[in-house]
């Protein structure tokens, strides 16, 4: 956890009117919904009478993994709340009101996901609970990011989460799961828009500082599930399925936000910010090349599998 600095306090004070404007806009755009409306409770059975077994799942192996990763990420809400509250604590009413609103909306995501997975027996409930315990005990820390870089991180993270959730729903081949993920992805998009536009306002106040914050997050970004047990192996399987891979990250997360902020067109930067922007350009080229190589490798693997199956 990082205590806000004098520079953070000044930034939050200057951006407070914008925070109030964007919070009001969010509250008008957000639609009330209820997790219980999305769960097929009629298919539920008592576990003490009928213990869970793998053949009961309505999800494939990779869909199971993706849902587990998405839920355990959402489960870490207490840590995220602490970090975002700390990031905005030096601000006044609208900042803290946003944190509470965001936390309340995010809380529904873990409720609806867990209820779906347990009621439909999609995942071993014992494994799921042990994963939740481990994830919450591990927690999450924004690792010394100041307020401006924290805003950049959550903008990218919310969009990445939206993409991951939406693609997980599509991949599940279950209309109930897909409907749930569409609903959650809609929330994540509204959250992303708040942070995206806050950072846009920060770009107008201090272009160089904002560009450096964005650049640092483009190059150093990690999904919040990184600390999860066996996360790397699970992330590889999710990428192989095309749910969230380098191409998604490059094309659907990083570039849309950079274009929105006109990252490469902002004028009047100091030398350090210009250097950071050059590093981002180089990094994006390398990321695109890695994505192309991965796509070719995945296509070749799928072709080999089809040959073996024929």
22-51 confidence digits (pLDDT tens): 999 999 999 999 999 999 999 999 999 999
Q: Check residue 91 and give its pLDDT.
A: 60
pLDDT tens digits along 244-260: 999 999 999 999 999 99
Average pLDDT, the chain: 93
pLDDT tens digits along 45-102: 999 999 999 999 989 889 999 999 999 999 999 999 999 998 887 666 999 999 999 9
What DSSP character marks residue 222? -
Instruction: Tell me the mean pLDDT in the region 115-119.
Output: 97
Q: Which residues contact 186 (CB under 8 A, 6 or more apart)?
A: 31
Q: Check residue 74 and give its pLDDT.
A: 94
- Indicate if the alpha-carbon torsion angle 277, 278, 281, 285 is positive or negative: negative
Instruction: Tell me the mean pLDDT in the region 232-252.
Output: 94
Q: Check residue 90 and give its pLDDT.
A: 64
pLDDT tens digits along 269-284: 999 999 999 999 999 9
Reference 203, options 266, 150, 275; nearest CA is 266
Q: Check residue 1 and give its pLDDT.
A: 47
Tell me if residue 165 falls in helix, strand or coil: helix
Percent of the chain with pLDDT over 70: 97
Q: Please tell me the distance from the alpha carbon of residue 64 to that of residue 174, in angstroms, as a whole number.
A: 12
């Amino acid at each position: 956890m990082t205590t806000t600095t004098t520079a953070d306090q000044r930034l939050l004070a200057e951006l407070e009117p914008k925070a109030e404007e964007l919070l009001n806009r969010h509250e008008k755009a957000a639609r009330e919904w209820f997790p219980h409306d999305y769960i097929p409770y009629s298919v539920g059975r008592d576990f003490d009478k009928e213990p869970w077994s793998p053949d009961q799942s309505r999800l494939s192996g990779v869909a199971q993994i993706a849902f587990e990763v998405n839920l355990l990420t959402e489960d870490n809400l207490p840590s995220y709340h602490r970090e975002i509250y700390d990031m905005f604590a030096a601000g006044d009413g609208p900042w803290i009101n946003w944190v509470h609103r965001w936390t309340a909306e995010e809380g529904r995501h873990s409720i609806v996901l867990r209820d779906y997975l347990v009621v439909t027996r999609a995942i071993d409930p014992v494994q799921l609970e042990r994963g939740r315990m481990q994830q919450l005990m591990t927690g999450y820390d924004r690792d010394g990011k100041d307020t401006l870089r924290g805003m950049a991180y959550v903008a990218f993270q919310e969009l990445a989460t939206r993409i991951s959730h939406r693609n997980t729903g599509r991949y599940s081949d279950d209309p109930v799961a897909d409907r749930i993920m569409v609903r959650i992805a809609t929330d994540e998009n509204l959250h992303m828009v708040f942070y995206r536009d806050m950072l846009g306002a920060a770009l107008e106040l201090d272009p160089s500082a904002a560009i450096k914050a964005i650049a640092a997050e483009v190059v150093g970004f990690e999904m919040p599930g990184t600390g999860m047990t066996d996360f790397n192996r699970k992330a590889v399987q999710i990428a192989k399925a095309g749910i969230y891979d380098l191409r998604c990250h490059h094309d659907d997360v990083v570039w849309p936000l950079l274009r929105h902020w006109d990252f490469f067109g902002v004028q009047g930067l100091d030398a350090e910010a210009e250097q950071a922007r050059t590093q981002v350009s180089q990094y994006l080229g390398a990321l695109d090349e890695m994505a192309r190589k991965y796509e070719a490798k995945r296509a070749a693997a799928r072709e080999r599998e089809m040959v073996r199956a024929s």
